């Protein structure tokens, strides 16, 4: 297959695509390092959504008129973009959801409730976001299944030997993230799916942090479900997608019910629409799906490996400069990470650190990052987290560390 020619990586040209980046915050040029929480949107995404509302707005799949046909076409073309982005075998396997959280809840409540029984086992890891813990806890309570947890090592990587010993003939579901939001650790999903499948379990991947940074190929990963959020891949909020293996989706009951997911309703019984519509009750997030399609189309111009190499350079710069900050401790030392720099500084609470950095125009996230079991395990209340995107620059990372040096001196 011939590769399309990719846009050369030029961080300054890329920054011009993101209008929000060009502003002052608290008297300083904005340095946006909260990309793991939500990333910024290129003009083409904003414009695609505006154009939809200006020119096309109409409900999908139902109107016998031109606008509705056009809206349906754009909406379904966005689904094709997602299929391509994940390299899923077919478009029927792409379900629109509000985001990663809803995708995981859909699997837990539809697949989980219809397949699990008392004594079955669900495995998650110590490294999960609450969105990949609580839906499984609730499912365990509903079905009588047991929840088991893969421990981590000192570098904050999954303990794969322990994972192997947790797998039993009762394991039904293994749910892990592709990359950790709190620490950046990239997890060995291919190895996890191989071992889980050998044990007869399915694998659900929380792709919230994998999709923005890593090549995602659900066929290569061989996972059974993969969920991600549009707003973390430079698209809008309120939209995301769930990939599911067709034979599993086919056998699963609907998650929610109502318009769109119905084939025929009568009071003697109702039949459901075919995939993927069986899982899409009610009017979907049409403008948002189109916005996400535009974001994935934008990303496609680039060689993802080049974006990752730039982000790695930002992380390496941070690691190097952090060695000179007195009292700074990096949390999470996995060699294989997405561009997340999580740290604590002696004598300074993370929330104070967040405020002090914000005063200098630098946006980071502080706290437990919705990973309280991980923080509890590490014995810390939280961290400060700078998470980089490909539009960030080495100069911005240097600004962060100049600010940190000032703050540390102030408190010494």
* CA–CA separation, 352 and 346 (whole Å): 12
Question: Does 166 help bind ligand 7TS (rule: CB under 6 A)?
Answer: no
Question: Does 93 help bind ligand 7TS (rule: CB under 6 A)?
Answer: no
Residue holding tokens 């942090």? 209
DSSP secondary structure letter of residue 127: T
Which pair of structure tokens corresponds to residue 210? 């994998």
* CA–CA separation, 211 and 209 (whole Å): 6
Catalytic residue chosen out of the listed positions 370, 386, 403, 408 = 370
Cβ proximity to ligand 7TS, 56 vs 132, nearer residue: 132
Positive or negative, the Cα torsion across 129, 192, 213, 321?
positive
* CA–CA separation, 177 and 125 (whole Å): 8
| Region binding ligand 7TS by CB under 6 A among candidate stretches 108-116, 127-135, 250-258, 285-293 | 127-135
* CA–CA separation, 53 and 75 (whole Å): 13
From 131, 143, 342, 392, residue interacting with ligand 7TS (rule: CB under 6 A): 131
Cβ proximity to ligand 7TS, 177 vs 289, nearer residue: 177
| Region binding ligand 7TS by CB under 6 A among candidate stretches 126-134, 299-307, 322-330, 376-384 | 126-134
Question: Does 83 help bind ligand 7TS (rule: CB under 6 A)?
Answer: no
Cβ proximity to ligand 7TS, 101 vs 393, nearer residue: 101
Inter-CA distances, 243 with 43, 73, 385, Å? 27, 20, 29
Q: Catalytic: 370?
A: yes
Question: Does 291 help bind ligand 7TS (rule: CB under 6 A)?
Answer: no
Question: Does 99 help bind ligand 7TS (rule: CB under 6 A)?
Answer: yes
* CA–CA separation, 288 and 278 (whole Å): 20
Cβ proximity to ligand 7TS, 99 vs 293, nearer residue: 99
Q: Return the number of other C-beta atoms located less than 10 Å from residue 148's C-beta.
A: 19
From 39, 81, 132, 383, residue interacting with ligand 7TS (rule: CB under 6 A): 132
From 92, 206, 224, 396, residue interacting with ligand 7TS (rule: CB under 6 A): 206
| Region binding ligand 7TS by CB under 6 A among candidate stretches 125-133, 256-264, 266-274, 291-299 | 125-133
* CA–CA separation, 49 and 397 (whole Å): 32
Cβ proximity to ligand 7TS, 72 vs 101, nearer residue: 101
| Region binding ligand 7TS by CB under 6 A among candidate stretches 2-10, 94-102, 168-176, 296-304 | 94-102
The distance of closest approach from Cβ of residue 265 to ligand 7TS in the complex, given in angstroms and rounded to an integer, is 31
How many residues of this chain interact with ligand 7TS, rule: CB under 6 A?
17
* CA–CA separation, 372 and 382 (whole Å): 8
Distance of CA 73 to the CA centre of its chain: 26
Inter-CA distances, 246 with 35, 94, 167, 222, Å? 32, 9, 25, 13
From 35, 56, 101, 109, residue interacting with ligand 7TS (rule: CB under 6 A): 101
Please, which residues bridge with residue 203 across strands? 174
CB pairs under 8 A, 24+ apart, for 41-44?
41/234, 41/235, 41/236, 41/291, 41/295, 42/17, 42/18, 42/234, 42/295, 42/298, 43/17, 43/18, 43/19, 44/17, 44/294, 44/295, 44/297, 44/298
The distance of closest approach from Cβ of residue 136 to ligand 7TS in the complex, given in angstroms and rounded to an integer, is 13
* CA–CA separation, 79 and 87 (whole Å): 12
Near ligand 7TS in 34-53, by CB under 6 A: 36-37
User: Which x/- pattern, by CB under 6 A, does the window 369-398 give for ligand 7TS?
Assistant: xx----------------------------
The distance of closest approach from Cβ of residue 192 to ligand 7TS in the complex, given in angstroms and rounded to an integer, is 15
Catalytic residues: 370
Interaction site with ligand 7TS (CB under 6 A): 36-37, 99-101, 129, 131-132, 177, 181, 206, 208-209, 229, 365, 369-370
């Amino acid at each position: 297959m011939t590769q399309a020619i990719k846009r050369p990586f030029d961080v300054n040209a890329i920054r011009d695509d993101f209008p929000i980046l060009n502003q002052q915050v608290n008297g300083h040029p904005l340095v946006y390092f909260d990309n793991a929480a939500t990333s910024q949107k290129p003009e083409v995404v904003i414009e695609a959504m505006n154009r939809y509302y200006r020119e096309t707005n109409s409900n999908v799949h139902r109107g016998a008129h031109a606008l509705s046909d056009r809206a349906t076409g754009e909406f379904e073309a966005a689904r094709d973009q997602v299929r391509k982005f994940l390299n899923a075998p077919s478009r029927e396997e792409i379900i629109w959801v509000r985001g990663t959280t809803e995708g995981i809840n859909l699997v837990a409540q539809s697949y989980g409730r219809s397949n699990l029984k008392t004594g079955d086992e669900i495995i998650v890891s110590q490294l999960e976001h609450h969105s990949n813990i609580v839906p499984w806890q609730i499912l365990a309570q509903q079905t009588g299944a047991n929840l088991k947890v893969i421990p981590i090592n000192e570098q904050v990587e999954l303990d794969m030997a322990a994972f192997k010993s947790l797998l039993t003939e009762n394991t039904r579901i293994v749910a892990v993230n592709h990359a950790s939001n709190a620490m950046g650790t990239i997890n060995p999903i291919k190895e996890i799916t191989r071992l889980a499948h050998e044990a007869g379990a399915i694998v659900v991947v929380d792709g919230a942090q994998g999709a923005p940074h890593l090549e995602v190929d659900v066929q290569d990963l061989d996972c059974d479900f993969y969920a991600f959020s549009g707003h973390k891949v430079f698209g809008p909020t309120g939209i995301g997608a769930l990939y599911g293996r067709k034979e599993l989706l086919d056998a699963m009951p609907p998650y929610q019910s109502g318009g769109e997911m119905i084939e025929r309703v009568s009071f003697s019984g109702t039949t459901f629409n075919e995939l993927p519509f069986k899982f899409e009750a009610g009017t979907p997030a049409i403008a948002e799906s189109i916005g996400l399609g535009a974001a994935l189309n934008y990303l496609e111009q680039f060689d993802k490996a080049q974006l990752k190499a730039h982000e790695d350079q930002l992380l390496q710069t941070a690691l190097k400069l952090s060695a000179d900050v007195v009292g700074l401790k990096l949390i999470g030392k996995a060699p294989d990470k997405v561009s997340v720099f999580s740290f604590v500084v002696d004598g300074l609470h993370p929330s104070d650190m967040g405020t002090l950095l914000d005063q200098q125009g630098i946006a980071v996230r502080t706290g437990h990052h919705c990973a309280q079991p991980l923080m509890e395990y590490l014995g810390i209340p939280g961290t400060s987290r700078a998470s980089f995107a490909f539009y960030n620059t080495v100069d911005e990372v240097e600004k962060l560390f100049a600010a940190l040096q000032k703050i540390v001196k102030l408190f010494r």
